[in-house]
Amino acid sequence: MGSGTGGECLMAHGTVAGARGAPVVVEGLCKSYGGVRALNSVSLSVAAGEFVSLLGASGSGKSTLLKLIAGLETATSGRILLGGTDAMRLQSEKRDIGMAFQDYALFPSMTVAQNIAFRLRMRRVPGAEQRRRIDRVAAMMGIGALLDRKPSQLSGGQQQRVAIARAIVFDPKILLLDEPLSALDKDLREQTKGEIKVLHERLGVTILYVTHDQSEALGMSDRIAVLDSGDIVGLGAPADLYAAPRSAFLATFLGQANLLPATIESVSDAGCTIATACGHASLPAGRISPDLPASPGRRSLVVVRPEHIAVTDAPEAPAGRTMIAVTITQALYNGAERATARPAGQAG
């Protein structure tokens, strides 16, 4: 995101020393709408200054969880602790939380400066201090030249920056972002992912980030909580969830995956050997799900991702690789990647 007249480039000027975030803990959180259960006894602990993405498909419960933490919805049961304080009886404005919504929720009749200052006015911050804080976050977000404009005069990326500036202007310890990139075009969305991460590192605030986009969650998060049908079905560092998924659902939800039935043949401290319909293979310990008690004879699934596959004319497989004969039936051009058709029966 950029300044008012130029490109869309977020400029996070200045560094805030030390983590200023607060821990977030939810315990046994449930939410029902009539007879429909949106959350099923969800528990999650987020450390001060941590960036955790809530990842899931539509209807998985991720936005509901965010709204409960923000105080925009009331839980059916359970507990929410913000910075060690029980927040269940606190109104939203008392929770020291900044929030940016998917649709930005800017006031159309107000200028950018007035939108940013809204929470400051609600807190009766003196005018001179309001101006100082507005100028500070406007410089941080690269929108200093836009302060006198109305939201209708801004691009989608500029409106997004204003929404984030409004969310952080009062120095909250917790920042909730509900799919803030979904309305942006692809190039701007890709650019902004890394810039939000830089902003997080500079502010030291605790961030809970709702998204259905796995690339956002994998590229930005310290940890990812994967939700499905109101439950957290996976929680961990992006690399761990991707490299050693705990279930077939996680394997196919995070990235592309081919699932092969396999039988464990032998087990050692270094890993295990397996037998599949495509041949035998060895798996290092770091590639085995921690939930899988590996033992000879046990049946499981092997995850083979596209980047694990190479097409070759070599007569033999390199050490540590398994070779099978394949027939390529279709090749698709994908810009940076391209598959090339080969004669039927050629090794692959």
- Place 19 in a pLDDT band, splitting at 50, 70 and 90: very low
Query: Does the structure show a pLDDT above 80 at 157?
Result: yes
E strand or H helix at 224: strand 223-228
Q: Which of 50, 55, 51, 49 is nearest to 215 (CA)?
A: 55
Closest C-alpha among 253, 243, 213, 228 to residue 303: 243
- What does DSSP say about strands 85-86 and 206-211: parallel, antiparallel, or unpaired? unpaired
Provide the 3-class DSSP secondary structure of residue 263. Answer: strand
Give the C-alpha separation, 218 to 268, whole Å: 30
pLDDT at 165: 92
Burial (0-12, 13-18, 19+ Cβ within 10 Å), 347: middle
Contact 206, 84 (CB under 8 A): no
CA angle 118, 124, 126 (to 5 degrees): 100
Q: What is the mean pLDDT of residues 145-174?
A: 92
Categorize the per-residue pLDDT at 347 as very low, low, confident or very high, splitting at 50, 70 and 90: very low
Query: Are 174 and 208 a contacting pair, CB within 8 Å?
Result: yes
CB-side neighbour CA atoms (13 Å) of 9? 5
The sign of the dihedral angle between the CA atoms of 91, 97, 101, 106 is positive
Q: Give me the pLDDT at residue 6, please.
A: 37
Q: Among residues 222, 257, 227, 260, which one has the least CA distance to residue 242? A: 257
Decide yes or no: CATH 3.40.50.300 for domain 24-241.
yes
pLDDT digit string, tens, across residues 275-321: 888 878 888 877 777 777 778 888 888 888 888 888 877 777 777 67
- The residues, any chain, with a CB within 8 Å of residue 259's CB and separated by 6 or more, are 248, 251, 252, 301, 302, 303, 304
Residue type, 182: S
Residue by residue, DSSP assigns 52-119 as: EEEE--TTSSHHHHHHHHHTSS--SEEEEEETTEE-TTS-GGGS-EEEE-TT----TTS-HHHHHTHH
Indicate the range of 26-40, 96-110, 245-259, 309-323 predicted with least confidence.
309-323
Query: Are domains 24-241 and 256-305 of this chain identical in fold?
Result: no
Cβ atoms 26, 65 nearer than 8 A: yes
- 330: buried, middle or exposed (CB in 10 Å: 19+, 13-18, 0-12)? exposed
Beta-carbon count within 10 A of 200 CB: 23
d(CA 100, CA 207): 11
**Eight-state DSSP code of residue 318:** P
The fold for domain 256-305 equals: SH3 type barrels. (2.30.30)
Domain residue limits, the chain: 24-241, 256-305, 310-348
Rounded to a whole number of angstroms, the distance between the first and last alpha carbons of the chain is 44
Least confident of 159-168, 209-218, 237-246, 317-326: 317-326
| In the predicted structure, residue 8 carries a pLDDT above the cut 50 | no
What are the tokens at 335? 């810009």
Q: Band of the pLDDT at 338, cuts 50, 70, 90?
A: low
Query: What is the per-residue pLDDT across 119-142, written as a single tens digit (0 to 9) for each?
Result: 899 889 999 999 999 999 999 888
For the record, the structure tokens of 145 come out as 């030249």
